[in-house]
Chains A and B, each alone.
Chain A
Amino acid sequence: MSARIIALVAAAALLITLPFWMPGVYYLNVASQILFYAVFAIGLNILAGYGGLVSLGHAALFGIAAYATGYLLQHGFGHPAAILIALVVALASTALYAVLSLRASGIGYIMITLALGEIVWGLAYRWISVTGGDNGISVHGRPEPFGISLTSAGAFYYTCLIVFVFSMVAGAIFVRSPLGAALKGTRDQPRRMNALGYHVWAIRFWASMLSGLLTAIAGVLFVYYNQFISPQTLALTASAEVVLMVIAGGASTLFGPVVGAALVVIVKNVVSGYLTRWNFLLGAIFVAIVILMPEGLVPGSARLWRLAWQRMRQPRKGAEAES
């Protein structure tokens, strides 16, 4: 059995048994947050990591799904209908977002997504009749799929875990597929891809749609977790935070965004209980990552591990040669 499979089995066992050994509901909720933020980061990683399109307005799509769910529930829709319509609304918004932002790449793309994110934030803040303005929208209750109530922290954690696993598998399949390979090609050599017969814009558009779908799913989980949505959720800082999750963990890796999400959520929720200036710590961690592991925590750790492994083996080989 390879080391990779052993690590995956251990991680799966750890995640499945987590509610049984985690000390208290608070930490279980932190784990749920890590999982749905990881789904959000996986969604962004498809665009930023594999497509080279760093979006600084992705929290807007996250927020649109959350607001749509909250609004529909408030207006008497059932949970399944609210979730489904919210996902459709978020996907339609993603399509519009992509049509507008994919006119550019690089800095131009970043600036357009930033502007779009600010427009959506402004709407959430000012369109009071729909969004509730600063007061936001409160959500009461959680769905009960197959008669199983998700109100308990454990049940909600397992829901997040299932969605997270689905997102990881979807991400892994996509990255290995021809369309995933084409997306990476458009990141590295868009001109060459065009000359090879690929429709660069359309590839980026479909990648945006997958990214938007995962982001919207995370947004729905968020609103059910928090039972509340306000403009702060889709502010620029929220978009920047998820970009940092991707970069810190390792863009264009499968596990990088998950590690990045865990880092940010733990510092925000756990370390902040002990340290008033937790923002400073988070900033210092990012600076350290950029200096020591510019490729991100996951690929950086893998590189250091390989280096240490080689050094451990070299003296042994030397000793064998001497004997």
Chain B
Amino acid sequence: MSVLTVSSLRKSFGGLHVTRGVNLDIAAGERRLIIGPNGAGKTTLFNLITGELSPDSGSVRLFSNDITRVPSRRRPHLGMARTYQIITLFPHDTIIHNVSLALLGLSPLRWNPLIDMKRQSHIVERGHEALARVGLGHIAERPLSQTSYGERRRVEIAMALAQKPKVLLLDEPFAGLSIDERRDVHRCLMSIPRDVTMVMIEHNMDVALEFAERITLLHFGEVIVEGTRAEVVADPRTREVYLGH
């Protein structure tokens, strides 16, 4: 059964065609890797799927429901979460506050102007649980400004997981990480259960290939190769435009 279906998705910025009729069909529980050279339109594709950009044409379906015109703020409520290529967190707050904000985003409590946020024990407990899943439970109260880059990456993943998504979009989760940090993030991603479908953009092929079951290669906004790990790596077009000879 398809969880996420992208059909003939097109997006242009003036004369620049960033995605040219992209089709994707992602099955439940799948681990899909999106690769491609810089400027291939990978992040734009994510922005179109999450609704941060509106497509010129084409459609996005989540669990067979057309969500192309659904505002991006509604999509997390439908089970879609994402992380960003450039870490986008709340630097003045603690780690647990960051995760609590993610939890509140899906709760009707977010409109409440009268209760004390820190006393919402069910939110705080669930935040601690999400942090424990990424191995940051012991530093939950630490200000984000006092954390390493790798820890921040894991906070991003914890925020996404806290929302109990059905589809998780990860935009270069290994970018800028040291070898140790990469190992921690990799372990954390591998521990995510199969009820979460994951789509990942990544340039680091060592960790990405270990993660992926199917791979989609984008080039100039078009899907030029798609298949299993072995099929895509063996395809001469992959070597030509991405892996090199």
Pair from one complex: yes
What is A's interface to B at a CB cutoff of 8 Å?
173-174, 176-182, 184-185, 188-189, 191-200, 206, 210
Task: Known contacts A196-B159, A199-B73; decide if A178 and B89 are in contact (CB<8 Å).
Answer: no
Query: Using a CB-CB cutoff of 8 Å, which residues 108-160 of chain B contact chain A?
Result: 109-118, 120, 159
* B73→A191 contact, CB < 8 A: no
* A195→B50 contact, CB < 8 A: yes
* B117→A192 contact, CB < 8 A: no
Docked complex Cα distance between A200 and B52 (Å): 13
Specify which chain B residues have a CB less than 8 angstroms from the CB of A184 in the assembled complex.
90
Specify which chain A residues have a CB less than 8 angstroms from the CB of B84 in the assembled complex.
192
What secondary structure prevails in chain A residues at the interface with B? Answer: helix
Specify which chain B residues have a CB less than 8 angstroms from the CB of A185 in the assembled complex.
90, 101
**Shortest Cβ distance from B99 into chain A, in angstroms?**
11
| Closest A residue, CB atoms, query B82 | A195
A-B residue pairs in contact (CB < 8 Å), sample of 24: A173-B113, A174-B113, A176-B116, A177-B112, A178-B104, A178-B109, A178-B113, A179-B110, A179-B112, A181-B97, A181-B101, A181-B104, A182-B104, A191-B52, A192-B90, A194-B52, A196-B101, A196-B105, A197-B73, A197-B74, A197-B105, A198-B73, A200-B73, A206-B113
Q: How many residues of B contact A (CB 8 A)?
A: 36
Specify which chain A residues have a CB less than 8 angstroms from the CB of B91 in the assembled complex.
188
Is residue B92 contacting chain A, with contact meaning CB distance below 8 A? yes
Is residue B65 contacting chain A, with contact meaning CB distance below 8 A? no
* B111→A195 contact, CB < 8 A: no
Is residue B72 contacting chain A, with contact meaning CB distance below 8 A? yes
Docked complex Cα distance between A197 and B75 (Å): 7
* B90→A178 contact, CB < 8 A: no
Specify which chain B residues have a CB less than 8 angstroms from the CB of A174 in the assembled complex.
113
**Shortest Cβ distance from A165 into chain B, in angstroms?**
17
Task: Known contacts A177-B117, A189-B88; decide if A195 and B104 are in contact (CB<8 Å).
Answer: no
Is residue B19 contacting chain A, with contact meaning CB distance below 8 A? no
* B105→A177 contact, CB < 8 A: no
| Closest B residue, CB atoms, query A192 | B88
Is residue B106 contacting chain A, with contact meaning CB distance below 8 A? yes
Docked complex Cα distance between A181 and B118 (Å): 10
Is residue B60 contacting chain A, with contact meaning CB distance below 8 A? no
Is residue B163 contacting chain A, with contact meaning CB distance below 8 A? yes
Docked complex Cα distance between A53 and B97 (Å): 22
**Shortest Cβ distance from B62 into chain A, in angstroms?**
14
Query: Chain B, 198-237, contact with A by CB distance < 8 Å: what is the 0/1 string?
Result: 0000000000000000000000000000000000000000
* B105→A179 contact, CB < 8 A: no
16 other contacts beyond A188-B90, A195-B73, with CB at 8 A cut-off? A173-B114, A173-B116, A176-B116, A177-B113, A177-B115, A179-B110, A179-B111, A181-B97, A181-B100, A181-B104, A182-B101, A191-B52, A191-B88, A192-B90, A195-B72, A196-B163
Docked complex Cα distance between A206 and B111 (Å): 9
Docked complex Cα distance between A43 and B128 (Å): 34
The 7 residue pairs across chains A and B that have the minimum distance between CB atoms = A196-B105, A197-B105, A197-B76, A179-B113, A192-B88, A177-B113, A178-B117
Specify which chain B residues have a CB less than 8 angstroms from the CB of A180 in the assembled complex.
113, 117
**Shortest Cβ distance from A175 into chain B, in angstroms?**
10
**Shortest Cβ distance from B57 into chain A, in angstroms?**
23
**Shortest Cβ distance from B170 into chain A, in angstroms?**
13
Docked complex Cα distance between A196 and B97 (Å): 14
Is residue B102 contacting chain A, with contact meaning CB distance below 8 A? yes
| Closest B residue, CB atoms, query A252 | B92
Specify which chain B residues have a CB less than 8 angstroms from the CB of A194 in the assembled complex.
52, 72-73
Docked complex Cα distance between A11 and B54 (Å): 54
Docked complex Cα distance between A99 and B239 (Å): 53
* B113→A196 contact, CB < 8 A: no
Docked complex Cα distance between A19 and B153 (Å): 57
* A178→B76 contact, CB < 8 A: no
Specify which chain B residues have a CB less than 8 angstroms from the CB of A182 in the assembled complex.
101, 104, 110
Specify which chain B residues have a CB less than 8 angstroms from the CB of A196 in the assembled complex.
76, 101-102, 105-106, 159, 163
Is residue B187 contacting chain A, with contact meaning CB distance below 8 A? no
Is residue B194 contacting chain A, with contact meaning CB distance below 8 A? no
Partner among B52, B100, B109, B110 whose Cβ is within 8 Å of the Cβ of A195: B52
* A181→B117 contact, CB < 8 A: yes
Is residue B77 contacting chain A, with contact meaning CB distance below 8 A? yes
Specify which chain A residues have a CB less than 8 angstroms from the CB of B92 in the assembled complex.
188
* B110→A198 contact, CB < 8 A: yes
